[in-house]
Structures are given as C-alpha cells and as structure tokens.
Amino acid sequence: MTTRTRERTVSFKNSFLLRGVDRPLPAGDYRVTTDEELIESLSFPVYRRVATMIFVPAQARRGAVEMVTIDPADLQAALRHDATAAGNTPGGTQT
C-alpha cells in the first residue's frame, strides 16, 4: 500500500493542554506530521489518515523532543481555544 507523510507547523500563543500529553505545553511552534495511505480500489487518488503525531519538548531532557500520537480533532480544539484566548483565528502554516 502506498503511504505518504504530510508535515505542517502549528503555532500556539498560550500554553495549552492536549489529550495524550500529561502536562501543559508551552506556547510556541509545533511540528505536526500526518501519515496517510492510498485507498487503491478507487478510480481516483484518495488518501486515508492513518496517524497524526505532534513533536513536543521532552519532559526528562532539556532540548530533546517526544513524538506523541494525537487525535486531529483534539489538536483543532486546542488551536480554537488558543485563538479565542488570544483574540485571533486558529492558525497553522503548511510546510
């Protein structure tokens, strides 16, 4: 099966909570990757999301990062909450 990985950067202006991470995360830019697989039985290319991961600062070692599997809906909710608190619209940049 053909797979692809998409990557983007999301920005938080405030500290935030995210299900799957057991501590508050600081404001800043976070790399998010999404793995998708091609559904081959269709006559046109369609990809299905398999996993979404966010890279967060590691708790144990300064400068290290952890990759945490998350639900994309939880990420969008956190971005909406952050935007509301900051008075902006939810954001993220494609890379």
Residue with tokens 């290290």: 64
Distances (CA, A) of 38 to 6, 34, 49: 13, 13, 9
Digit-coded pLDDT (tens) for 17-55: 999 888 999 999 999 999 999 998 888 889 999 999 999
For residue 56, the tally of other CB atoms under 10 A from its CB is 20
Asked if residue 32 lies in contact with residue 7, where contact means CB atoms within 8 angstroms, the answer is yes
Domain-by-domain residue ranges, the chain?
Answer: 3-85
Asked if residue 48 lies in contact with residue 36, where contact means CB atoms within 8 angstroms, the answer is yes
pLDDT at 45: 86
pTM: 0.80
